[in-house]
C-alpha cells in the first residue's frame, strides 16, 4: 500500500494535479527544492526532504536526497523481517512511491551556446540513484519517470485501496532502467565527443563511444526471409515525418520487407514540393512522377514500369482522395502511404482489407527531414555516417558542353537527379516531363544499368526521345554516355570527377548533348 511518496521533478507537467490526487488518497508527500515550493504554493501539505532527513540541502543542490533515510525507505524489502527491523531501528519510514524525472541534460547540450560547465551541472546524480533504487525494489515501490503514467497509477490506486499491482510496478521499473540508460548514454556521447577536455571548443560528430536508443514497436512474423526472425524498433530521436511515426489505418501486419520498402518510398516522395507519387519494389523506385494531382502523379509513375509496380509500395506526399484511391485499387499493392486520406478514399480502400494503409505526417518546412546519422551493420562493427541530405543549389551546377540545356531540359535533369539519389548504385534514370521513363538500378557496371534502364522503357512502351538522364556517379568511360544517347537522351546530369571527364564531355559535344555536372555523388549501397 502506498502511504508515502517522494516527488522531485524537473519536468513539472501535471505534477500539481497528481500530488493533489495523492493527498486526497491520504498519501503523505516528501519533496525537494523547486518541486516542494511549487506544491506548497499550490496549497498542498509537503515535507521538504532536508527537514525529513535532518540534513540540509548543500553544495548548490548537488546533495539533497543522497541520505540513508531516503534510500533505506526506498530499498528496504517489505517481505524480509531483517530489512523491516533495520529501518524500524533507525526510524526510517518506507517510501512507497517515487516520482522523479531528471535534469534536462539533453536539452542543455542541444543548445549551440551550451558550455561544458553547463552540461556538467545538468548531470543529475541523486535522481538516477533514487530511480535505480526504486526500480530495483519494484516489488514494493512504484516508480514514475514519465508524467504520461500519472493517470494510470492513480486509477489503479483508487480501484485497489492505494495499492499498485506487481505487473504495473514491473512495467514502470523497466521504463526507468531504459530511461536512465538513455540518460547515461547521452552523457557518454557528449563527453566522449569532446576529446581532450582542454580543447573541447568543438564537438566531434562521432563520439569515441556511441550509444543509441531504440524502443520496440512490434515483433515481426519473420525477417527478410522466413527463416529469419525480426522486430521493428523506433529511434527515440527520430525527426517529425520519419516513417517510424506511421499510423496504420488498415491492413495486415507490416513485414520486415514492407517497412524497409515503405521507408525507401517515403524518403523519396517527401522531398518533392509538388504533388508526387513514388512506387518502390525491392528498395528501388520503379516509378516516380509529379503532376497537378496525386491521381495524375500516380498514373505517370505507374506507366514507368507496370510490371514491377505489381505488389509494390506506393507513397504520396499529398492527401489521397477518392479518385486516387480508386486508381490505386485497380492494382495489387502491398503498402499505401500518404500524409492523410479522405473519408471517400478510406471507404474505397476498406474493400481491400489486406492493403496496409499508413498515414505519416510530413515534416514542417525547414525542419530536419531525415535522421541525423545513418547506420549500417558490418561483421563485428557499425558504419556511421551523416545523412545524404544534400540538395544541389543552382549555383553549384556546371554546364560543361557547348550546348546549354533548354529550360525544359534543366527541369527534367533536376527531376532525374532527385530520383537517382534514391536508386541503388549503380543508378541510371531516364526522365521527361516530371516522369521516370526507365530506371536501371544496382548493377556492377554503370553501362549495364544504362542498358537496363533503356530496355525497361522500351518494355513499358515509353519513348526516350528527348529524355534527360541522371547518373548517381560519373561516367568512367564514354560508352555509358553513348548508350543513353543512342536510346534518345538529349541531356545528362552527373557528378563529374572522372579521370576521363574530358573524353566524356567531348563525346557529349560530338553528339550535341547538353551535360551538367553537380559535383556531388549519391552512391546508395
Give catalytic residues, as residue numbers.
136, 282
* Separation between Cα atoms, residue 419 and residue 435, nearest integer Å: 10
| Residue 116 phi, psi (nearest 5) | -60, -40
The DSSP H or E segment spanning 231 is strand 230-235
Q: Report strand pairing: 514-517 vs 398-399.
A: antiparallel
Q: Which residues, 6 or more positions from 125, have their beta carbon under 8 angstroms from its beta carbon? A: 62, 66
Write down how long the chain is.
525
Separation CA 372–CA 241 (nearest Å): 13
CA dist 449 and 429 (Å) reads 9
User: Angle between the 126-136 and 166-192 helix axes, to the nearest 10 degrees?
Assistant: 150
Number of neighbouring beta carbons within 10 Å of residue 394: 7
Handedness of CA 73, 78, 81, 83 (dihedral sign): negative
Spatial distance between the Cα atoms of 155 and 164, rounded to a whole number of angstroms? 9
Closest-CA residue to 221 (of 259, 250, 184): 259
Instruction: Check if the beta carbon of residue 483 is closer than 8 Å to that of residue 451.
Output: yes
SS3 label, residue 464: coil
Instruction: Sort strands 230-235 and 214-220 into parallel, antiparallel or unpaired.
Output: antiparallel
Q: How far apart, in whole angstroms, are the C-alpha atoms of residue 99 and residue 39?
A: 13
Pairing of strands 381-386, 373-378: antiparallel
Whole-angstrom Cα Rg for the chain: 30
Angle, alpha carbons 312-316-321 (nearest 5°): 110
- H/E stretch holding 290 reads strand 284-290
Q: Where are the beta strands (DSSP E) in 441-498?
A: 467-471, 489-494
C-alpha span between 420 and 472 (Å, rounded): 6
Cα–Cα distance list, 357 to 247, 315, 460 (Å) = 8, 10, 27
User: Contact, 386 vs 205, CB < 8 A?
Assistant: yes
End-to-end C-alpha distance for the chain, whole angstroms: 57
Residue from 181, 183, 462 nearest 305 by CA: 462
**Bridge partners of residue 333, in order along the sequence:** 312
CA distance 358 to 249: 6
Amino acid at each position: 500500500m502506498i502511504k508515502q511518496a517522494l516527488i522531485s521533478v524537473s519536468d513539472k507537467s501535471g505534477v500539481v494535479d497528481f500530488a493533489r490526487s495523492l493527498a486526497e488518497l491520504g498519501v503523505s508527500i516528501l519533496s525537494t527544492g523547486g518541486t516542494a515550493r511549487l506544491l506548497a504554493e499550490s496549497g498542498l501539505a509537503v515535507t521538504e526532504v532536508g527537514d525529513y532527513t535532518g540534513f540540509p540541502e548543500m553544495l548548490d543542490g548537488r546533495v539533497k536526497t543522497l541520505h540513508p533515510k531516503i534510500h533505506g525507505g526506498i530499498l528496504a524489502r517489505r517481505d524480509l523481517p531483517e530489512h523491516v527491523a533495520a529501518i524500524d531501528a533507525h526510524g526510517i519510514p518506507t517510501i512507497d512511491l517515487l516520482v522523479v524525472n531528471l535534469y534536462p541534460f539533453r536539452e542543455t547540450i542541444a543548445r549551440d551556446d551550451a558550455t561544458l560547465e553547463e552540461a556538467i551541472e545538468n548531470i543529475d546524480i541523486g535522481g538516477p540513484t533514487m530511480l535505480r533504487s526504486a526500480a530495483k525494489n519494484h516489488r514494493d515501490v512504484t516508480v514514475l519517470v514519465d508524467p504520461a503514467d500519472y493517470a494510470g497509477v492513480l486509477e489503479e490506486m483508487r480501484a485497489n485501496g492505494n495499492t499498485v499491482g506487481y505487473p504495473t510496478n514491473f512495467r514502470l521499473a523497466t521504463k526507468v532502467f531504459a530511461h536512465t540508460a538513455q540518460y547515461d548514454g547521452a552523457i557518454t556521447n557528449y563527453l566522449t565527443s569532446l576529446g581532450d577536455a582542454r580543447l573541447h571548443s568543438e564537438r566531434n560528430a562521432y563520439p569515441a563511444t556511441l550509444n543509441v536508443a531504440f524502443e520496440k514497436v512490434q515483433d515481426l512474423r519473420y525477417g527478410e526471409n522466413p527463416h529469419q526472425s525480426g522486430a521493428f524498433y523506433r529511434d527515440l530521436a527520430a525527426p517529425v515525418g520519419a516513417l517510424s511515426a506511421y499510423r496504420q489505418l488498415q491492413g495486415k501486419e507490416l513485414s520486415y520487407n514492407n517497412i524497409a520498402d515503405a521507408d525507401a518510398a517515403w524518403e523519396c516522395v517527401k522531398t518533392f514540393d509538388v504533388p508526387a507519387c513514388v512506387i518502390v519494389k525491392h528498395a528501388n523506385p520503379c516509378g516516380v512522377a509529379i503532376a497537378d494531382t496525386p491521381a495524375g502523379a500516380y498514373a505517370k509513375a505507374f506507366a514507368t514500369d507496370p510490371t514491377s509496380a505489381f505488389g509494390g509500395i506506393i507513397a504520396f506526399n499529398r492527401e489521397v482522395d477518392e479518385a486516387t484511391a480508386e486508381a490505386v485499387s485497380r492494382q495489387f499493392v502491398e503498402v499505401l502511404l500518404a500524409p492523410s486520406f479522405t473519408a471517400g478514399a478510406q471507404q474505397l480502400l476498406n474493400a481491400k482489407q489486406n492493403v496496409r494503409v499508413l498515414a505519416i505526417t510530413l515534416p514542417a518546412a525547414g525542419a530536419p527531414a531525415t535522421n541525423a546519422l545513418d547506420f549500417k551493420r558490418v561483421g563485428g562493427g557499425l558504419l556511421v555516417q551523416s545523412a545524404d541530405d544534400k540538395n544541389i543549389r543552382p549555383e553549384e551546377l556546371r554546364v560543361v558542353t557547348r550546348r546549354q540545356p533548354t529550360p525544359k531540359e534543366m527541369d527534367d535533369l533536376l527531376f532525374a537527379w532527385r530520383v537517382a539519389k534514391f536508386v541503388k548504385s549503380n543508378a541510371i534514370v531516364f526522365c521527361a516531363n516530371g516522369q521516370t521513363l526507365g530506371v536501371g538500378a544496382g548493377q556492377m557496371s554503370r553501362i549495364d544499368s544504362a542498358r537496363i534502364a533503356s530496355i525497361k522503357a522500351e518494355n513499358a512502351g515509353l519513348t526516350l526521345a528527348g529524355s534527360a538522364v541522371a547518373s548517381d556517379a560519373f561516367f568512367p568511360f564514354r560508352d555509358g554516355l553513348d548508350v543513353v544517347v543512342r536510346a534518345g537522351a538529349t541531356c545528362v546530369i552527373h557528378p563529374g570527377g572522372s579521370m576521363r571527364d574530358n573524353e566524356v564531355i567531348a563525346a557529349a559535344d560530338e553528339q550535341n548533348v547538353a551535360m551538367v555536372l553537380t559535383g556531388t555523388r549519391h552512391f546508395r549501397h
